């Protein structure tokens, strides 16, 4: 039983309670630094309900954590747009998007690890998958399609190119989070160098790199 039981919720307040559960779980996840340290009982105590009340909204802990990560990543599209939305040069925009991805992961490492710890079952995407597909995937795909239209990327299906670029970006983020003691250099300088290298490899024409013009620290 929760330590401080809350009054019975009025009819129609289920969505509000679900939001409170997500908020409480997010707080606990960040405070504890690990999904393993977050329990349904602790979430229930934080919200002021009984554990069975959590299961009325989320079938299990994995579903709850997925909802937490999806909710957190809802802000990611605006983050990407702010970082690279007004950059016309294809490769400068791609690098800016990649660095924004890495920085978001570093700034939200616990949520990032949790979001990608859950293996998608079969062909059914998680809530977090759906959010990422409508943000990071769409933004990077748009850049690749623009590159194809401009003749700097070989024409064809953009999806393989998107996945190649995303794989590199994600790998850099994972490695920087998992091994922060490696000599990464100042700010995101090494991450930027890696992204420039992969962009140069994808480009059909030599890339003349100029300063991106935004803070990568």
Do 45 and 86 lie in one domain? The reply is: no
Within a domain: 66:
no
Do 50 and 89 lie in one domain? The reply is: no
Do 194 and 102 lie in one domain? The reply is: yes
Structure tokens at 182: 């490696």
In this predicted model, what pLDDT tens digit does every residue of 46-90 receive, in sequence order?
Answer: 999 999 999 999 999 999 999 999 999 998 988 998 998 889 999
Do 77 and 101 lie in one domain? The reply is: yes
- What element of type H or E holds 110? helix 109-117
Do 78 and 154 lie in one domain? The reply is: yes
Within a domain: 90:
yes
Name 81's Cβ contacts closer than 8 Å, sequence gap at least 6.
139
Do 78 and 53 lie in one domain? The reply is: no
Rounded Cα–Cα distance for residues 214 and 217 (Å): 9
Q: How high is the pLDDT of residue 209?
A: 67
Do 79 and 183 lie in one domain? The reply is: yes
CB 95 within 8 A of CB 199: yes
Do 111 and 27 lie in one domain? The reply is: no
Per-residue burial over 169-199, b if 16 or more Cβ lie within 10 Å, else e, is bbebbeebbeeeeeeeeeebeebbebbbebb
How many domains, in total, are found in the chain?
A: 2
Within a domain: 212:
no
Within a domain: 8:
no
Do 46 and 88 lie in one domain? The reply is: no
**Sole residue written with tokens 């996945």:** 163
Structure tokens at 43: 């979430």
Rounded Cα–Cα distance for residues 160 and 52 (Å): 44
Rounded Cα–Cα distance for residues 120 and 56 (Å): 23
Within a domain: 2:
no
Domain of residue 113, CATH code:
1.10.357.10
Within a domain: 213:
no
- What element of type H or E holds 47? helix 40-47
Within a domain: 215:
no
Domain of residue 20, CATH code:
1.10.10
Rounded Cα–Cα distance for residues 34 and 32 (Å): 6
**Sole residue written with tokens 């809530």:** 127
Do 18 and 106 lie in one domain? The reply is: no
Within a domain: 149:
yes
Q: Which of 161, 170, 167, 174 is nearest to 201 (CA)?
A: 161
State the residue range of the domain holding 84: 73-202
pLDDT digit string (tens) for the chain, length 217 residues: 334 444 444 434 456 799 999 999 999 999 999 999 999 999 999 999 999 999 999 999 999 999 999 999 998 988 998 998 889 999 999 999 999 999 999 999 999 999 998 777 767 889 999 999 988 999 999 999 999 999 999 999 999 999 999 999 999 999 999 999 998 888 899 999 999 999 999 998 877 766 554 444 4
Query: How many Cβ atoms sit within 10 Å of the Cβ of residue 156?
Result: 9
Do 86 and 157 lie in one domain? The reply is: yes
Do 32 and 80 lie in one domain? The reply is: no
């Amino acid at each position: 039983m929760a330590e401080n039981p809350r009054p019975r919720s009025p009819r129609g307040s289920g969505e509000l309670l679900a939001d409170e559960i997500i908020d409480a779980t997010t707080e606990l996840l960040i405070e504890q630094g690990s999904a393993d340290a977050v329990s349904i009982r602790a979430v229930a105590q934080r919200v002021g309900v009984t554990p069975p009340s959590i299961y009325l909204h989320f079938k299990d802990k994995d579903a709850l954590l997925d909802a937490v990560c999806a909710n957190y990543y809802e802000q990611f599209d605006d983050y990407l747009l702010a970082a690279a939305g007004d950059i016309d040069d294809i490769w400068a925009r791609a690098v800016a998007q990649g660095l924004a991805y890495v920085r978001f992961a570093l700034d939200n490492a616990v949520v990032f690890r949790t979001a990608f710890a859950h293996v998608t079952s079969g062909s059914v995407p998680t809530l977090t998958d759906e959010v990422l597909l409508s943000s990071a995937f769409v933004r990077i795909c748009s850049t690749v399609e623009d590159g194809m239209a401009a003749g700097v990327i070989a024409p064809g299906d953009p999806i393989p190119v998107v996945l190649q670029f995303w794989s590199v970006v994600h790998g850099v983020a994972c490695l920087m989070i998992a091994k922060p003691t490696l000599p990464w250099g100042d700010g995101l300088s090494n991450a930027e160098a890696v992204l420039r290298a992969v962009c140069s490899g994808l480009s059909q024409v030599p890339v003349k790199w100029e300063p991106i013009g935004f803070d990568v620290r």
